[in-house]
Structure 1
Amino acid sequence: MDFAFDARTEELRDRLLAFMDEHVYPAEPVAHEQRQALADPWGTPAIVPELKAEARRRGLWNLFLPDAEYGAGLTNLQYAPLAEITGRSPHLAPTALNCAAPDTGNMEVLAQFGSEEQRKQWLEPLLAGEIRSAFAMTEPEVASSDATNIRTLIRRDGDDYVISGRKWYISGAMNPDCAVFIVMGKTDPDGTDPRRQQSMVLVPRDTPGVTVRRAMRVYGYEDHAHGGHAEVIFDDVRVPAGHLVGEEGGGFAIAQARLGPGRIHHCMRLIGMAERAIELMCRRAVSRTAFGRPIAQQGVVQNWIADARVTVEQLRLLVLKTAWLMDTVGNRGAHTEIQAIKIATPRAVAGIIDSAVQLHGAGGVSQDFPLAELWAAARTLRLADGPDEVHQRSLARRELKKYV
C-alpha cells in the first residue's frame, strides 16, 4: 500500500486548497447572510452558483465519480484527500464542486444501473449541476436500519408503477431545484427472499400524488446544504414502467452498491471536519487566557489536542486503506474495512468536535463558530447509511465466522 499522492492528486489538491482559501471560506458568512434574506428559506444563496462556476472553471467538478465518462475518473485513493479538504466546509464546499450527497449517490446509481434514457433525462442535468435530487428510502413507521422492513409499495399496473408510502429524512427534498426522487419500495412484498422484494423507481417531484409534507430538523438545524430533509408522502403516485431502475427485485442490491461509496465519502469528509475543529481549537487555545495563563498551557487542553491529532492520523490511515482496497479488490472485498471506518470515524470525530466546543465555551454552541453545526453533522452520521450497531453486528459476525 502506497499512500503517497500521485501527480494528478497533488495538482488537484493544490487547486482545491487555493479554491478553499480564495473562495469557499470567505463565502461561508456571505452564504449565511444571503440565506437570511431569501424569500424562500430553501432557496439557493446567490453565492453558491458563483462558487460552482468558479469550481468548474478550475477543473474541480464531479471529482467523486470514478467513471471517466461521467466524472473526473479518480480512484477512491485519489479522491480521499480531496474529499477531506471539502470536509473542512461540509455545508458549502461539496455543493460547490457538485460532490454533495444525496446527488452523488444518485448519480452513481444512474451511471451504474440507469437505462440510456434515464441517464439522458436525469444523470446529465445532475452532472451539469442544473438540478438536484433526493433518495427516498428511510421510513418513520419501521426500523429502517433493516431495509427489508420497508413498507412502501410499488405495484405494477399495466404500463405503469403505482407507489404508495410514507418516507422521512429524505435528503434534498426541500430544495426547489430537486427534480427527481429515487424511491425504494416493495414490488414483491410476499416474496420468499426478503432481499429480492424491493425495487427502485424514478419519480419526478411534480408527479401527482407526491407531497413534501414538512422539513425535518437535525438537532434543530434545517441542513440547507443538502437541500433539507423532508417527510414525503407518495399517494398512489403513477409513473411509467420505464422509470424502474435496473430490474424488479434489484433494489436491495442497488442500495448496497450506492451506500458503499457513500459511506467512505462521508468518512473522508469527516476527517476534514476534525481538522477544522483542531485548527479552531488551537487558535482559540493560544488566544485566550484563564486563571492567569494562556488556555494552551492547561494540561487538559493539551491532552485534547494531542489525542485529537493521534485519532485523526489513525482514522486517515484506515480510510486510505479502505479506499485502496475498494480500488484493488472492490467494495465486497473491502466490506470489513468500510464497516470499520463507518463505525469509528463519526464517533471519534464527534468527540473531537465536542472537545473543541468545550474549549470555546459559550461560543462553541453559538452561530459565530461552525462547531455546533459540525457536531450535529458528525453525530448524525452515526445513523446515516446504517447505524453503528448494524455495522458492529455484521462485522462481529464476520470475525466470529473464522472460529466457528
Structure 2
Amino acid sequence: MDFSYSEKVARLREKLTEFMETNVYPNEAVYVAQLKALTTKSRRWSSIPPIVEELKARAKEQGLWNLFLPDSDYGAGLTNLEYAPLCEIMGRSIIAPEIFNCNAPDTGNMEVLARYGSEEQKDRWLRPLLAGEIRSCFAMTEPDVASSDATNIRASIVRDGDEYIVNGRKWWSTGAGDPRCQFAIVMGCTNPEAPRHEQQSMILVPFDTPGVRVERMLSVFGYDHAPHGHGEIIFDHVRVPASHIIWGEGKGFAIAQGRLGPGRIHHCMRLLGAAERALELLCKRVQSRVAFGQPLAGQGVIQDWIAQSRMEIEQARLLTLKAAYMMDTVGNRAARTEIAMIKAVAPNVALRVIDRAIQAHGAAGVSDDYPLAAFWANARTLRIADGPDEVHLMQIARDELRKYREAP
C-alpha cells in the first residue's frame, strides 16, 4: 500500500490548506456572529449567514469543489485514498465542509443519485446539488424502532397507480431545517413479505409535497446546528410520482449499504482533522499558560497527553487510509471490516484527544471561544450516527470468527 500523495493531491492539499488559513479560520467567528444576528431577528431557520455563500463562491472559483466524488463526470475524480487528506483538512473546521460542497448528508445523497439515479432524477436533483444551489436531507432513522438495523424501518411506501404513497415518522433527518432543503431521500418498506433485505426501498420526496411536515428540530448536546439542523419529519399520505423511486423496489437496503460506506469513512477523515486541530490548540495553550511556577507544557501529565494524542491520531489515520485503499482496490463490500473498524476507532480517538485539549484549556475549553466543545459534541454523536459502535464491533467480531470456522 502506497499512501504517498500524487502530484494532483499534493497540489490540492496545498491550495486547500491555504484557503482554510486565509478564508475559513478567520471567518469562523464571523459565521457565529451572523448566525446570532439572524437569531435576534427570528430568522435563524429561514436565512443563511451570508459568509457561507461568499466562501462557497470563492472555493468554487478556485476549483475546491465536489472533491469527494470519485466520478470525474461530476466531481474531482479522486479515489477514496486521494480524498482522505483533503477531507481531513476540511474536518478542522465545523463550517468548512459546506464551503467546499463536501458536507453530509448532501455528499451521500449525491453519491446515491450519481450511482443509482435515473437521468430524470439526476437532472432535477443531482445537478443543482452539485452546483451548491440547493440542499437535501436523508430520512432513514425512526423514533419507534432500533434503526441501527435498517430492516426494522417501518415507514411505508405503497404503490398506487402511477404514484407511491409515503407514510411514516422519521427523525434525525439532517438538513431538514435548512431553508434551501428541496427534497428528502426517504427509506421505507414497499413489501413486508419480501426477503428480509429486499423489503425496503428509497424514494425522492420533494419537501413542498402536501403531507410533508417538519414536526420539530432536534438539538445535539444543546447545539441546534441551525440553519441546517436535524429534524423530526411526518410523512402523512404523501403522494409522489412512481418515477421518484430510486433504482427500483426492494433496493433500499442495498442503496443504504452503498451510501453508508463512503459516508462512514468521510466522517472518520473529518474526525482526524478535528483531532489534529484540537492537538494543535492544546500544544499552543500549554506553552502560553503558566501554573505553579512553570508553563503547563513542563508538566509530565501534559506531555503524556500530547504523546498519547499524537500516537492515537497516527494509528487512526493509518487505519483510515488502509480502509480507503481497500475500498478503491477491492470494493466497499470486501472492505467492510476495515470500514467498521475505523468507524469504531476514529470517534473514540477524536473524543480522547479533544477531551485532553478541553482539559488543558480549563473553563475556556467548554466555551464557544474555541471550537473544542462543538468538536466534542460532534465526535460523540458519531459514536451513534451511521451505526453505533456496538454494531460495528459485532460485525468485526463475526468477520474474525468466520476466518476460523472456514479454516480446514
Taking the aligned partners of 2:155 and 2:307, their CA distance within structure 1 comes to 48
Taking the aligned partners of 2:20 and 2:258, their CA distance within structure 1 comes to 31
Matches within 5 A, 1:123-142: 123-142=126-145
From 60, 65, 72, the equivalent of 2:64 is 60
Shift of 1:190: 2.6
Match of 1:173 in 2: 176
Match of 1:265 in 2: 266
Does 2:90 align with 1:86?
yes
Identity %: 62
Match of 2:356 in 1: 355
2:283 match: secondary structure:
helix
Taking the aligned partners of 1:349 and 1:14, their CA distance within structure 2 comes to 24
1:362 match: secondary structure:
helix
Moved over 6 A (4+): none
From 50, 53, 68, the equivalent of 1:46 is 50
Shift of 1:380: 0.4
1:343 is matched by which residue type in structure 2? A
Match of 2:32 in 1: 32
Does 2:241 align with 1:240?
yes
Match of 1:215 in 2: 217
1:331 match: secondary structure:
coil
- 1:294-343 CA distance string (max 9 Å, x none): 11111111111100000011111111111111111111121111011001
Ranges in structure 1 where 5+ consecutive residues have no aligned partner:
none
Taking the aligned partners of 1:224 and 1:114, their CA distance within structure 2 comes to 29
1:348 match: secondary structure:
helix
Taking the aligned partners of 2:5 and 2:365, their CA distance within structure 1 comes to 34
Does 2:101 align with 1:112?
no
Considering only aligned residues, what root-mean-square deviation do their CA atoms show, in Å? 0.8
Ranges in structure 2 where 5+ consecutive residues have no aligned partner:
none
Match of 1:7 in 2: 7
1:301 match: secondary structure:
helix
Matches within 5 A, 1:135-174: 135-174=138-177
Taking the aligned partners of 1:148 and 1:57, their CA distance within structure 2 comes to 43
1:161 is matched by which residue type in structure 2? Y
Taking the aligned partners of 1:263 and 1:224, their CA distance within structure 2 comes to 23
1:247 is matched by which residue type in structure 2? G
TM-score normalised by structure 2 residue count: 0.97
- 1:43-63 CA distance string (max 9 Å, x none): 211000110010011110000
2:103 match: secondary structure:
coil
- 1:176-220 CA distance string (max 9 Å, x none): 0000000000000232x1110000000000000000011100011
Q: Aligned pairs, how many?
A: 401
Shift of 1:395: 1.1
1:67 match: secondary structure:
coil
- 1:247-286 CA distance string (max 9 Å, x none): 1000000000000000110001110000010011011100
Match of 1:381 in 2: 382
Taking the aligned partners of 2:361 and 2:76, their CA distance within structure 1 comes to 39
- 1:116-173 CA distance string (max 9 Å, x none): 0000000000000000000000001111111111110011111100011000010000
1:223 is matched by which residue type in structure 2? H
2:213 match: secondary structure:
strand
Match of 1:202 in 2: 204
1:71 match: secondary structure:
coil
Taking the aligned partners of 1:148 and 1:390, their CA distance within structure 2 comes to 14
2:157 match: secondary structure:
strand
- 1:2-31 CA distance string (max 9 Å, x none): 111010000000100110000000110000
Shift of 1:224: 3.1
